Structure 1
Amino acid sequence: MKRILFLLIFFTSTSTHASAHDFSGLGGWGVSFGYGQSLDRINIYRAGLLKQWNVKWLENKTGYMCGYFELSYNHWEKGGDDVNAVALSPVFQYVFYTGNATWYPYIEAGVGAACLDDYHINGRDLSSNFQFEDRVGAGIRIKNMDISFRYMHYSNAALKVPNDGIDILIGTLAWYF
């Protein structure tokens, strides 16, 4: 319980202030909705709550590194099998400067943790309710809207066998406040 309380405090503690000239909205909140499929056509539906970090690292003339936390609900389905999951992931982004204050492209990567209500789907045995959620992706932010495409992988990192894992391609639309 102390760990959950710590994560909630950490998740919400950064400032939500962004300067008028900083379009990136560092420190802001957002919501995301996504749809994708696994490589063997398991349907994936995803809704998330996003919290951007109020920091910039490695800033140079090309861009800078920043990031966000995503707390998500995931629903997987195929052929009568359903899996529900909750995940928390820190995600690092490299934002490219474009010379335009209304849009910018980025690349991202992150590794988080997920808790599944069932670890069997479509003949796959993920072996445990605990899974790591790995992601790499690219996107573009236009004003408060964010459009991204990601590759995601769920696996228990061989903590328990068999470790079939699942690979997902997903498109996401997010809105920041």
Structure 2
Amino acid sequence: MPTLLIIDMQVGMTWPEPVVRNNLQAESVIARLLEDWRLRNAPIVHVRHISRTPGSPFWPGQPGVEFQPALVPLPHEHVVEKNVPDAFINTGLERWLHARGESTLVIVGVSTNNSVESTARTAGNLGFKTYVVSDGTFAFEKTDFDGNKRSAQEVHAMALANLHGEYATVIHSAIALSTA
């Protein structure tokens, strides 16, 4: 059974207005995957971003740093705390996975073009068989380098395109549930 890697599903990610993000159902998709992994007693890793920037919603001790109530890790589930977008950098995640013989990851969380994409790229580069769940991830609208405002769906779609076929395989949650 692959390891479910849940990235940055923290309270602070619920604060932006819903109109600036896509996949408003992502939290329910992630909760469904989490429930399935738990029923199968399969490996789960929760990733939490701890900011190095004072005043950030993800600064230690701020309410935004806490896991969303529906996605709180159980005591036996592994938690990784990171300070940069990539969950493999300075966290011991790679060592934890190898020590348990885990070679396949199913990645969900936020944001598609930031922490999800950087973590999936590294996972693929490290040789993990990596899947990214398209409806279990989401992004926020962003202005591109040329000054054009891009919708959250455009940002999300481009991040998935960047990953698919090179670093990861992008799948729908129905596939993740049927093959897990």
Greater share of strand:
1
TM-score (norm 2): 0.29
Provide the TM-score with structure 1 as the length reference.
0.30
Q: Higher relative contact order at CA 8 Å, sep ≥6: structure 1 or structure 2?
A: 2
Question: Which structure has more helix as a fraction of its residues?
Answer: 2
